[in-house]
A and B are shown apart, each in its own frame.
Chain A
Amino acid sequence: DQQVKQNSPSLSVQEGRISILNCDYTNSMFDYFLWYKKYPAEGPTFLISISSIKDKNEDGRFTVFLNKSAKHLSLHIVPSQPGDSAVYFCAASDGGTSYGKLTFGQGTILTVHP
């Protein structure tokens, strides 16, 4: 039972264009959502997060959108740069747990071409 799904295993975009990474979830108890970026042979790095009381959060080139009714979130990267090429994981947290459990999606490989 996969509660967080990233249905696109990979995405390829041109440098300077927008990258849109999508994530769907099924558990309505999730109240906090995060995006991580991971390079090969390295640990994931926290990128940006959003609380369920918001529908948008922006940090520089990165914007996360949350659609609670659709149980869908997306990460927009504008403009995309070759250094953004990595695996992107979305994750969700259920505030009811005492230890901050994160449930991760399978990841989407983003390739930004110069």
Chain B
Amino acid sequence: SQTIHQWPATLVQPVGSPLSLECTVEGTSNPNLYWYRQAAGRGLQLLFYSVGIGQISSEVPQNLSASRPQDRQFILSSKKLLLSDSGFYLCAWSPQGASIQYFGAGTRLSVL
């Protein structure tokens, strides 16, 4: 069966520090991968998606970037965190061509 791992679960970082969140999927190949952010009291906002290795598309302009160095690995990064980057970050995957997405447990990021 397929599983998705996301870490760390919580992270507290100072303003201006770098960020690296990692997500890996097991039990499938060539998945679509997604990064979402959920701000307090709001829905899920799609940040990045990837349909293959090295293929990254951004949905909204922001201080973050994403990379997909391997088929089942998706990384969310920032060179310098802003206070507004605080939130709950979720990684998700879906089979190619399917609409159902499966989510990781999420990372609570607090930028202080």
Which A residues lie at the B interface, using CB under 8 A?
A: 4, 32, 34, 36, 41-46, 49, 89, 93, 95, 98-102, 104-107
Contacts and interface: CB of A to CB of B under 8 A. Distances in A.
Contact of A106 (B9, B43, B92, B108): B43
Q: Which 7 A-B pairs have the closest CB atoms?
A: A43-B103, A93-B99, A104-B43, A106-B43, A104-B44, A32-B99, A100-B99
Given A41-B9, A42-B106, A99-B32, 17 more contacts: A32-B99, A41-B106, A42-B105, A43-B90, A44-B44, A49-B99, A49-B100, A99-B49, A100-B32, A101-B46, A102-B46, A104-B45, A105-B43, A106-B41, A106-B42, A106-B43, A107-B42
A46 to B, nearest CB: 6
A9 B100 CA distance: 24
A46 B102 contact: yes
Contacts, number: 57
Interface of B: 6, 9, 32, 41-46, 49, 51, 57, 88, 90, 92, 94, 97-106, 108
A45 B32 contact: no
A99 B101 contact: no
A30 B44 CA distance: 17
Contacts of B100: 34, 46, 49
A41 B99 contact: no
- Tell which of A4, A42, A43, A44 has the most Cβ of chain B within 10 Å: A43
Contacts of A41: 9, 88, 105-106, 108
Contacts of A106: 41-43
Nearest to B99: A93
Given A43-B90, A44-B44, A44-B90, A100 B106 contact: no
A58 B92 CA distance: 25
Residue of B6, B99, B100, B105 most packed against chain A (CB within 10 A)? B99
A34 B94 CA distance: 14
A46 B98 CA distance: 13
A85 B51 CA distance: 34
